[in-house]
Structure 1
Amino acid sequence: MITLRQLTYLTALAEEAHFGRAAARVHVTQPALSMQIRELEGALGLVLVDRLPRGVRLTRAGHEVLARAGRILAEVREMEAAARRGALGGVVTLGVIPTLAPYLVPPALAALRGTADLPQDLRLREAETETLLRELSDGTLDAAVIATPPGPGMIELPLFEDRFLLAGTAARLAALAGQAEALRPVSLDPDQLLLLDEGHCLADQALEVCALDRRRMGGGPGAGRARIDLGASSLATLCGLVAAGMGLTFVPEAAARAESAAAPQMALMRFAAPEPSRQVRLVRRAAIGEEPWVPALARLLAGAGAGLLGEAQRLVPRG
């Protein structure tokens, strides 16, 4: 009989590529782990591991079994998480990307109190998109709010369209507004553009709408290169730099009111239509049936997002 313990040990062995390290990772002796791997091979009638002088290597069959084991163990973790949610009166773990979390989460939590269809214990995880999708896949998260297509194996519920505004000092934006043609992202000078570190989806989206490649940016001499290489890790840092006159950046409507209040020397303006934007969505695993809290949470987040967009449109009216 194949056991979850054997699949867990095989996963550890594949990742550590060494019996001793794998045994230490799962807190058993090396002979105990080796015995479980041999029993798994016997149950399947397959050789899963090539034993080498200084480690191990999965066979072709081993890689196939490892892939299936990953899916099985992810389902088990999700089942355990669902059980915890029931036992604890409805605990949901929600991931949110950093360029949305500081702005969307506070009004959403305020609206959460007393909402009948939603768990009153909502645990939050702020991380970049790649990390959130990985944790969704392995069952660590119940759902995530992201702004890029999630890929296969996921179901998404659209929440709102978050348009990008251009941020700079009033003088810098006034010079751009005086240009003969309507302002479009592709007309921006790359040496003036401040971006988040790689890994933030907002940085990738800004490059995409400007038709730029990060590898070609910051290569020239002088202040332009220094600006590009600042590598800010938060939107708040970028806005502070922009307010100090160090360049331009993109600010999503969802962040406009909060960042304008925090950096009063920063001005905002809209791009010409069609305005660049990102689609914010709530994502969950497709393999898991929809629970009642999923559409309720989507409605709550969409409502909180609509409030943020309304504030941004009052601050920077659309034409």
Structure 2
Amino acid sequence: MNYIPLSGLSLRDIEYVVAVDDLRNFSRAAERCGVSQGGLSEQVRKLESLLGVVLFERTRRHVTVTPDGARLIAMGRNVLAAARAMIEAARARTGPLEGVVRMGIIATLGPYYVPDLLPLLRRAYPQLKLQLTDSLTDTMLRMLRHDELDVVFAALPVSGEGLQYAPLFREPFLAAFPASHPLARRKALAMPDLRGPDLLLLEDGHCLRDQALALCGMSSRRDPSRLATSLEMLWHMIGAGEGYSLIPRLALRHRGEWDGLITVTPLPGAGRTIGLVWRTSDPRGPAFDEFARFLRENPPEGCTSADAPPPPHDGTHIQPA
């Protein structure tokens, strides 16, 4: 193979085209990359000229990637991932984590776990600088594979090539009912008791939705009027008397203003295991593993360490998220 000089090709230019591909908008891509739109557009044109390929079709309203562009941008993503891995390998430490860590947390956990997590990390990892993101599980695992996140807190198990995870803690589920609902007066409940038309769910994409359906032994339901966009909206729907649902333990904190509107009942054995996920190829893997061990030793209030024996089980199997 003939020698091909790389003097005209820069990683920054590849970052520009990847940003345009992600956002399909030159203005937003420039904002993400911290450059002017004119500067980014000019560098993209120069890269197209260097490659001899048009990467994007541009109109006043739309930006679409060409077939050749899609193939080359995919290769560019691999180049950026390799470059970042090189930097991470140079910075890797055998001791505690330090520096910037891009951390994703599933939306049904983040608002309720992060307030306790941050002070804990500030004391134990003073050199750690976090960049936090919350979203759906699949979205964040995709970001993790594309090197847009370093670690993800998710309900286990997760699947996907090139990922490694460690369990952290078990979070119980509780049943939340409108105070006037007949099931709210029951002293003890089993999961089959929750099968019925009043069960409220989150929208597709939330692992908590899949777990609730699996625990109750129900198939997917499509009625959009019974779906909540977030865990907070699900709680509000219960308070309004629309139905009942399963609520993770950490999301029940500081709900005193709902006394008299919502009744919460324990569900023995029902819950989820929260774990830390990272790329198998990340050279900081040993540090992430040690980080997971530290978090296992410090589970949030109301949860149990994943090293502890599991709670009594009622025989119901929780499907993978």
TM-score (normalised: structure 2): 0.69
CA change 1:318–1:269 in 2 (3 A) is farther
| Cα pair 1:9 1:37 within 8 Å, conserved | no
Q: What is the aligned residue count?
A: 287
The one-letter amino acid of 1:160's match is: F
User: Which residue in 2 is equivalent to 1:314?
Assistant: none
Residues 1:151 and 1:56: Cα distance change in structure 2 (over 3 Å): closer
Q: Residues of 2 paired with 1:52 and 1:197: CA distance?
A: 34
2:248 is the alignment partner of 1:263: no
Q: Whose strand fraction is larger, Structure 1's or Structure 2's? A: 2
1:1-319 counterparts in 2 under 5 A? 1-2=5-6, 3=9, 4-5=11-12, 7-8=14-15, 11=18, 27-28=39-40, 33-41=44-52, 49=54, 58-59=66-67, 63-77=70-84, 90-115=99-124, 119-148=127-156, 149-172=158-181, 174=183, 177=186, 183-185=190-192, 187-190=194-197, 192-210=198-216, 211-215=218-222, 217=223, 225=225, 228=226, 231-235=228-232, 237-256=233-252, 258=253, 260-261=255-256, 263-265=258-260, 266-271=262-267, 275-291=269-285, 293-305=287-299, 307-309=301-303
- Provide structure 2 residue ranges, at least 5 long, that are not aligned to the other structure: 31-35, 305-311, 315-321
- Please list the CA deviations of residues 97-129 of structure 1 after superposition, one character each: whole Å capped at 9, or x if unmatched: 12111222222223223326x744333222222
Going from structure 1 to structure 2, the CA distance change for 1:33 and 1:104 (only over 3 Å counts) comes to closer
Closer/same/farther in 2, CA of residues 178 and 299 from structure 1, 3 Å limit: closer
1:250 Cα deviation from its structure 2 partner? 0.8
Structure holding more helix per residue: 1
Q: Which amino acid aligns with 2:144?
A: L
Contact 1:10-1:37 at 8 Å conserved across structures: no
The one-letter code sitting in structure 1 at the alignment partner of 2:259 is P
For 2:258, the aligned partner's letter is: A
- Is 279-288 or 75-84 further displaced after alignment? 75-84
Deviations 1:222-246 (A, max 9, x none): xxx5xx15x34233x3224323433
- Once the two structures are TM-superposed, the CA of residue 187 in structure 1 deviates from its matched residue by 4.7
> Closer, same or farther in 2 for the Cα pair 1:110/1:270, shift >3 Å?
same
Q: Which runs of 5+ in 1 are unaligned?
A: 42-47, 219-224, 311-316
- The CA RMSD over aligned residues, in Å, is 4.2
Equivalent pair of 1:164/1:252 in contact (CA under 8 Å) = yes
**Percent identity at matched positions?**
30
* Secondary structure of residue in 2 paired with 1:121: strand
3-state SS in 2 of match to 1:93: strand
In 2, Cα distance between the equivalents of 1:19 and 1:97?
Answer: 29
Describe the shift of the 1:101–1:301 C-alpha distance in structure 2 as closer, same or farther (beyond 3 A).
farther
Report the Cα offset of residue 33 of structure 1.
4.0
Q: Distance in 1 between matches of 2:56 and 2:100?
A: 44
Q: Distance in 2 between matches of 1:284 and 1:159?
A: 13
- C-alpha separation between the residues in 2 aligned to 1:157 and 1:281? 5
